[in-house]
Structure 1
Amino acid sequence: MFELERKNRRAEWVFMVLSGLFLGSLTMLNILGITKFISLDFVFFGNEIPFPIAIGVLAYPITFLCTDFISELFGKKRANMVVWMGLILNLWVLFIIWIGGVLPPGPELDDLGNVIPNTNGWIFYEVRTATFAATSASMIAYISAQFIDVQIFHYLKKKTGGKYLWLRNNGSTLVSQLVDSIAVILITHYYADALPKDAFGNITEPLIYFITASYLFKFVTSLLDTIPFYFGVKYLTQYIKAGHIEK
């Protein structure tokens, strides 16, 4: 009896840490989101290739690694539960930022209706605008991509009889992140109109560059996380002796 309680306690601690890391990264990537675009241009056969990625993308691969860990250790039901919790968290962030904007005093505006720099709340309203755009764009993409990730992960696990951990880890993440990259860039542009623009009001790079850069970053980091995923699953399985956990 005591041994079972000890196993359950270890399992719940692991689940809480993975869920906390997932939800914390999710909140961070939505708040930072598109507040800054990083330009990682590179030269290919003498041609300079633009590689613009939003700063929020830096935390994104961690969210998929966490859901893969939860899927492997605790099963599909719990992985989907964490995904739904992430959606609720998105809505909570939007609510707090919205109510913070409507409470007095209001922002000081210029003749064009823009918030005057360096006045009370200026930084807040800059972050508020970017966060609303990033979160609105990411919520649809997030739900689609995360559920696709969980579904493909368990589909591959069933088809391979639980073998080839690398296949379900990379296969689920690479497909779901392609969906996410396309959806979030298109929504950010056509719905939120929030991609970086030049002095003439045109987006700085064609949409294909934003989509490709975002996906390639996620693609590379997904391949790199295969090794920590393998060792993490092995260690955590031994640590919590997950065989008794209902999946």
Structure 2
Amino acid sequence: MEKSKKFLAYKIYLVLAALFITSLVVSNLIFQKFFSWNFFGIYTFEISVGILPYPITFLVTDIISEIYGKKKANQVVIMGIFASFFSLLILYVSNMVPATEWSPVNDSLYTKVFGFSSIAVFSSMIAYLLAQFVDIKIYHFWKRKTNGKHLWLRNNFSTITSQFLDTFSVLFLLCSFGVIEWSLFSKLLLSGFLFKVLVALLDTPMLYLAVYYFRRLFNLKASEEVVLEV
């Protein structure tokens, strides 16, 4: 690959990594707000707003897996872990610092909004580690089995499986820590998983478009990947 294309590939990889990390960290910060969504009268979802940016992480890792390979996808996952724990440290220090009398956000309000964020980050990280590595492993398993064909198959198989593991694990931990009542576990598990399955099906055309564009941009064959190492 020529030098200019190589440099462009690095820049696109960094943008995808930034989207991944931002989506992951923000989802942990905003998780305490829940909303309901009536899906055309078929089913009413009751889910956390933290679930909205989270499916982006799976789409991004699938794009990176397809274009840059398994190693680069795993590197982004590890960067996400570092970013999440660093955000946890910032939240902890910010919560420990006392607010002034005139502060628009006092200590009790800050703790109410971000107090459970440390538990959320910890719970999310355990679930995240399990789900993301399973997602990447299943994705590449089906990529090998199909010789790089049937993109829709590996995308949906990997995402749906890993999303169930993620939803179950994070809810189990949040209920265990007392952040969410156990009586809500089944309802939130079903709503969260069905929402993620719906998003996984909807993001398949986006994955096809992204892969088609990047393969043309970098002149890649069906099973070929961009090698970023010098």
Aligned match of 1:142: 128
Aligned match of 2:88: 94
* 1:91-111 residue CA offsets vs partner (Å, 9 max, x unmatched): 10100011112224599xxxx
Q: Does 1:76 align with 2:57?
A: no
Deviation at 1:244, TM superposition (A): 6.8
Deviation at 1:119, TM superposition (A): 6.2
In the alignment, structure 2 segments of 5+ residues that lack a partner are none
- Please state whether the residue corresponding to 1:163 is helix, strand or coil: coil
2:185 to 207, 213, 231: 207
Counterparts of residues 216-227 of structure 1 (less than 5 Å): 216-227=194-205
- Please state whether the residue corresponding to 1:38 is helix, strand or coil: strand
RMSD (CA atoms): 2.2
* Code of the aligned partner of 1:77: K
> Do the aligned partners of 2:45 and 2:195 also contact (CA within 8 Å) in 1?
no
Aligned match of 1:39: 36
Which segments of structure 1 move beyond 6 Å, counting only runs of 4 or more? none
Aligned match of 2:227: 246
Give me the TM-score of the superposition, normalised by structure 2: 0.89
The count of aligned residue pairs is 222
Q: Does 1:235 align with 2:220?
A: no
* 1:1-58 residue CA offsets vs partner (Å, 9 max, x unmatched): xx7111101111110111111111111101112x2111235766xxxx6632111001
Aligned match of 2:24: 26
Aligned match of 2:3: 5
Q: Does 1:126 align with 2:116?
A: no
- Please state whether the residue corresponding to 1:40 is helix, strand or coil: strand
Deviation at 1:147, TM superposition (A): 0.3
* Code of the aligned partner of 1:27: V
> Do the aligned partners of 2:84 and 2:121 also contact (CA within 8 Å) in 1?
yes
Give me the TM-score of the superposition, normalised by structure 1: 0.83
Assess, with a 3 A threshold, how the Cα gap between structure 1 residues 229 and 124 changes in structure 2: closer, same or farther.
same
* Code of the aligned partner of 2:152: W
> Do the aligned partners of 2:143 and 2:149 also contact (CA within 8 Å) in 1?
yes
Aligned match of 1:194: 179
C-alpha distance in structure 1 between counterparts of 2:100 and 2:190, whole Å = 39
C-alpha distance in structure 1 between counterparts of 2:225 and 2:188, whole Å = 45
* Fraction of identical pairs, as percent: 36
Aligned match of 1:176: 162
